[in-house]
Structure 1
Amino acid sequence: MSERQNQYNIGLDKTPANYVPLSPLSFLARSAAVYPNHVSAVYEGRSFTWRETHERCKRFASWLGGKGIGVGDTVAAMLPNIPAMNEVHFAVPMTGAVLNALNIRLDAPSIAFQLDHGGARIILVDPEFSTVITDALAQMKGPKPFVVDVDDAAFKGGKRIGEIEYEAAVAQGDPDFAAIPPKDEWDAIALSYTSGTTGNPKGVVTHHRGAYLNAVSNILAGQLGQHPVYLWTLPMFHCNGWCFPWTIAAA
């Protein structure tokens, strides 16, 4: 027996006017458009607005695109909770690529495995972690990623091991870069790894839909309200900071 014709399947097809895949990239674009002058982040005497954060993300995304980064590529980050770590949660997926936020507490062999396994093509490194990343790069079996240094005003020491510093890359990018939205909500946005206590680290992939829904759920569960001031304590490498980089942009 054939199914009865469903009237709601007639003339109500998906179109760009009524449907787009869910993605947390929309949170940043909205906040920059609706609340451009509200503070987005404060760190070590530096303050950014949502307009500035949006532009910086587009600039870095543009620079990544110029380095050949695109859909399906992996960009790793060995960074503490600094503005750049927040920004790459948007800039990397703006290119269609996937962010691999590395656990800053792991040793070189574990990091080397993740860089090989995830296929990182670029890695952002805070000077604080230059030694462990140098060791990890030396232990990699596959192609080594291009290294971008991210100077941290709160850390004295370490050294630059990359070919360009983050602010220089941002300055070179196009502020009018058009973000590449996911074609499907199931497209990957982030790659994380377990700490590998029982063997090699295990990879976990987050998709755009999951990041979007979890970010919104955080607002409800935390009763954040509008324009919350959020003190970062959870490391952003930990499950993408429980999606809070995207949560705060949404709220």
Structure 2
Amino acid sequence: MPENIFASGLGPGPANFSPLTPLRFLPRSAAIYPDRTAIIHGSRRISYREFDARSRRLASALAARGIGEGDTVAVVLPNVPATLEAHHGVPALGAVLNAINTRLDARTIAYILSHGEAKVLITDREFSPTVREALAQLDRRPLVIDLDDPLHEGPGERLGEIEYEALLAQGAPDFEAPPIRDEWQPIALNYTSGTTGNPKGVVYHHRGTWVMTVGQILSWNIPSGAVFLWTLPMFHANGWCFPWSVTAMAGV
């Protein structure tokens, strides 16, 4: 006999519950505003349709290389479209995004790659001197994917096995990753600065980033279609979750 009339048959189930995750925001914005501009990078404009497709391609290509739930994908990238795509494509697989501070020295980057057990590293050739030195210090080298940002005019070299755009070309634009099974799954791994000794790993989960994303929208009164000028590095606390909050509002 149930304790009261509401204690029977009203628990969570597939019909009335889904885990909280910020990964639902991009497919929604792409479905409602496919032709709206999502990203402006130099003279290039990327629509929400393309943003969603590129993020799916990234997830698909990584999945084909055996990346899945619980695997760490590290990035050493500036604020470029690939960094945004990684915030959506990497955790769609259940993998964990580790955005590394581009201003760190080689020893610290090597420590983070090793401590976080990175299986993949996406890196901009702008940082190749430091990243090359960091990779040389590792006992196990991750799969290295080079990003050749057209806006970078300085020196740099490719260090990896494949270039980012070539990787995306191998992925499927309509890729459907398995749904996130638990909102307490990790979505991102960040590392502290300003502490003694080595940086400390901080794990974000899907629920926490969803709450932070919605909190940003409410506290900053972000309107639909807002234009956000990136000054905060996306490697800093995942850009305070703005990669998800601006996307949720179909902003730029």
Question: What TM-score does the superposition give when structure 1 sets the normalisation length?
Answer: 0.96
Q: Please report the RMSD computed on the Cα atoms of aligned residues, expressed in angstroms.
A: 1.3
Instruction: Identify the range of structure 1 (228-237 vs 168-177) with the bigger mean alpha-carbon deviation.
Output: 168-177
Alignment of 1:127-206 (within 5 A): 127-140=125-138, 142-156=139-153, 157-195=155-193, 197-206=195-204
Question: Match of 1:76?
Answer: 74
Inter-partner Cα distance in structure 2 for 1:7 and 1:105: 59
Inter-partner Cα distance in structure 2 for 1:6 and 1:73: 44
How far did 1:119 drift? 0.3
The 8 Å contact of residues 38 and 51 in structure 2, kept in 1 or not, is answered as yes
How far did 1:32 drift? 0.7
Query: Runs of 4+ in structure 1 displaced over 3 angstroms?
Result: none
Question: What TM-score does the superposition give when structure 2 sets the normalisation length?
Answer: 0.95
How far did 1:8 drift? 2.1
The 8 Å contact of residues 2 and 8 in structure 2, kept in 1 or not, is answered as no
The 8 Å contact of residues 56 and 172 in structure 2, kept in 1 or not, is answered as yes
Instruction: List runs of 5+ in structure 2 lacking aligned partners.
Output: none
Instruction: Identify the range of structure 1 (73-82 vs 178-187) with the bigger mean alpha-carbon deviation.
Output: 178-187
Inter-partner Cα distance in structure 1 for 2:4 and 2:142: 52
Instruction: Identify the range of structure 1 (65-74 vs 179-188) with the bigger mean alpha-carbon deviation.
Output: 179-188
Question: Match of 2:50?
Answer: 52
Aligned-pair identity in percent equals 54
> Is 1:38 the equivalent of 2:36?
yes
The 8 Å contact of residues 20 and 183 in structure 2, kept in 1 or not, is answered as yes
The 8 Å contact of residues 21 and 183 in structure 1, kept in 2 or not, is answered as yes
Instruction: List runs of 5+ in structure 1 lacking aligned partners.
Output: none
1:173-210 deviation line (CA, Å, top 9, x unaligned): 01121123321111000000012641011000000001
Among 205, 213, 216, the alignment partner of 1:215 is 213
1:99-156 deviation line (CA, Å, top 9, x unaligned): 000000100111111000100000001011111111111112x311110001111212
How far did 1:92 drift? 0.2
CA 1:225/1:198 → structure 2, altered by over 3 Å: closer, same or farther? same
Instruction: Identify the range of structure 1 (158-167 vs 76-85) with the bigger mean alpha-carbon deviation.
Output: 158-167
- Secondary structure at 1:47 match in 2: strand
